[in-house]
Amino acid sequence: MDSLGVVVNPIAGMGGRVGLKGTDGKLEEARRRGAEPRAPDRAREALRSLHRRAPELTVYTAAAVMGERAARDAGYEPIVVYEPSEADANSNTNTNASAAGGDTTNAARSLDPTTAGTDAADTRAAVRAFVDHGVDLVLFVGGDGTAVDVAEVLAEKTEAGVEPTPMLGVPAGVKIYSSAFAVTPADAGRIAAEFDRVADREVNDIDEQAYREGEVRTELKAVVPVPVAPDVQSSKQVSSGSVGSLAAGFAREIDADRTYIFGPGGTVGAIESELEIDPSPLGVDVWRDGTMLARDASEDEILAVLEEPATIVVSPIGGQGFIFGRGNHQISPAVIRRADDVVVVASESKLEEIDALRVDTDDEGVDESLRGWMRVRTGRFTTRLVNVV
């Protein structure tokens, strides 16, 4: 590979820790709740990993927080081929002005990730510029919505007669159902530097409003060429099978002196229902001795009511294996450090789809503390050892 296009959705994932389950249409609310950018740091991590392996690579990117900053921080001298409009940096819309290359304006360079005002149209315009410059790969930083934007432009260019361009995602969104993403940002950099072939993978998206209301509605949006590597994640799958006995067994062993932090998902929700708790299916609940301390809580709300000792209860994402870092950003490194116990629950059928459990919390120290063999509860009395990588 000789050249790469890098585009960053600077607000991707901001809604996670503040309990919004996504940022689509909720940016102002995320800001009000004190959300902080996640994507720029993950972009830097991916590009530093890439630079260690391919320092001479030609990198095309968009101005400021849409890729330029991360590329420079990683050691590259990127070629800026698109500028987001600086006309209204505090709004979530812009006029999508573009540039053919060269330096960017001071206003564009000064955009703050939380107020950048960039949107999907900017992502699409940047990707069009990358393809026009003949890049060998589009590396994007965001979630499923960003993946859809990139895939649609690549399909548009292919239909116009351009050779198909591969894409690879750096996971930064709250929800990641597509199989176009590397497992971690560092993996994305390594894969981009080393891949030698591609295969068709799925790009899926989810209705965020329905997701916030507890319903998962996914839709296949595209099939795209993605670098082949072990550390490209699978599409999220929903496992089948009853978890009733698992829930009943867990409920029998509840410790009245413990605080329980229940993560999202149907398996954990079954445990809550067994305890006569009305669960927030895709949110995080905090409960102690029959009392709901916080329902559908943000990171700050969890920390405010968390009494020790505390147990975090989570279930891996089917087909992917993530227990932290996908869909449950509210259970942040700070929350994990406060808890003295983590319990993973899953049906045997779900575990059959998973080669390992995975963590991606944005805190390498916390991730390392969770790695190794972990006992997963699979039934009323049964457990199974699964490796956390």
Same domain, 171 and 22: yes
Same domain, 289 and 206: no
Same domain, 164 and 208: yes
- Does pLDDT of 289 surpass 50? yes
Q: How far apart are CA 75 and CA 283, in angstroms?
A: 39
Same domain, 198 and 303: no
DSSP reduced 3-state for 328:
coil
CA distances from 88 to 45, 115, 331 (A): 29, 9, 34
- Does pLDDT of 341 surpass 90? yes
Q: Across all residues in the chain, what is the average pLDDT?
A: 84
Question: First and final CA of the chain: distance in angstroms?
Answer: 28
Residue 233 lies in a domain: no
What does the pLDDT average to over 14-31?
54
* pLDDT score, position 268: 94
pLDDT, tens digit, 9 for 90 and up, residues 77-136: 999 999 987 533 333 333 333 333 444 444 444 455 555 567 889 999 999 999 999 999
Same domain, 222 and 276: no
**CB neighbour burial string for 48-80, b if at least 16 within 10 angstroms, e if fewer:** bbbbeebeebbbbbbbbbbbbbbbeebebebbb
Sequence-distant (≥ 6) Cβ neighbours of residue 168 within 8 angstroms: 137, 138, 139, 140, 180, 181, 182, 188, 191, 192, 226, 227, 232
DSSP reduced 3-state for 69:
helix
Same domain, 45 and 150: yes
Same domain, 268 and 188: no
Instruction: Give the pair of three-digit tokens for residue 43.
Output: 């972009």
Number of domains in the chain: 2
Same domain, 222 and 277: no
Q: How far apart are CA 188 and CA 48, in angstroms?
A: 10
Boundary (domain end) residue, out of 180, 198, 227: 227
Residue 236 lies in a domain: no
**CB neighbour burial string for 83-98, b if at least 16 within 10 angstroms, e if fewer:** bbbbeebeeeebebeb
Residue 232 lies in a domain: no
Name which residue leads in pLDDT, 20 or 34: 34
Same domain, 296 and 221: no
Same domain, 201 and 279: no
* pLDDT score, position 116: 56
pLDDT, tens digit, 9 for 90 and up, residues 298-320: 999 999 999 999 999 999 988 78
What does the pLDDT average to over 145-165?
94
Residue 70 lies in a domain: yes
Exposure of 117 in the CB half-sphere (CA atoms within 13 A): 19
C-alpha angle with apex 246: 289 to 308, nearest 5 degrees? 30
For the ranges 31-40, 245-254, 285-294, the maximum mean pLDDT occurs at 285-294
Element (H, E) at 6: strand 3-8
Same domain, 183 and 58: yes
Q: Which domain holds residue 280?
A: 244-388
Helices (H), the chain: 27-32, 39-53, 68-74, 106-109, 120-132, 144-159, 185-194, 208-212, 244-252, 266-274, 299-305, 333-338, 348-352, 364-370
Boundary (domain end) residue, out of 198, 227, 256: 227
Residue 8 lies in a domain: yes
Boundary (domain end) residue, out of 227, 252, 272: 227
For the ranges 23-27, 71-75, 202-206, 220-224, the maximum mean pLDDT occurs at 71-75
Share of the chain above pLDDT 90, in %: 58
Residue 35 lies in a domain: yes
Nearest to 276 by CA among 290, 264, 289: 290
* pLDDT score, position 153: 96
Name which residue leads in pLDDT, 280 or 166: 166
Residue 238 lies in a domain: no
Residue 224 bridge partners (DSSP)? 201
Residue 310 lies in a domain: yes
**In the chain, how many H helices and how many E strands?**
14, 16
Q: What is the DSSP string of 251-273?
A: HHT--TTSEEEE-SSHHHHHHHH
pLDDT-derived band at 379 (thresholds 50, 70, 90) equals confident
Cβ-based neighbour number of residue 291 at 10 Å:
10
- Does pLDDT of 73 surpass 60? yes
Name which residue leads in pLDDT, 321 or 108: 321
* pLDDT score, position 335: 97
* pLDDT score, position 180: 92
Q: Point out the least confidently predicted range of 16-20, 54-58, 115-119, 378-382.
A: 16-20
What does the pLDDT average to over 137-157?
94
* pLDDT score, position 216: 58
Same domain, 251 and 141: no
Conformation bin of residue 214: beta by default, left when phi > 0, alpha when psi is -120 to 50? left
* pLDDT score, position 137: 98
What does the pLDDT average to over 255-273?
93
* pLDDT score, position 302: 96
- Does pLDDT of 218 surpass 70? no
Here the CATH number for the domain that contains residue 198 is 3.40.50
Q: How far apart are CA 360 and CA 366, in angstroms?
A: 9
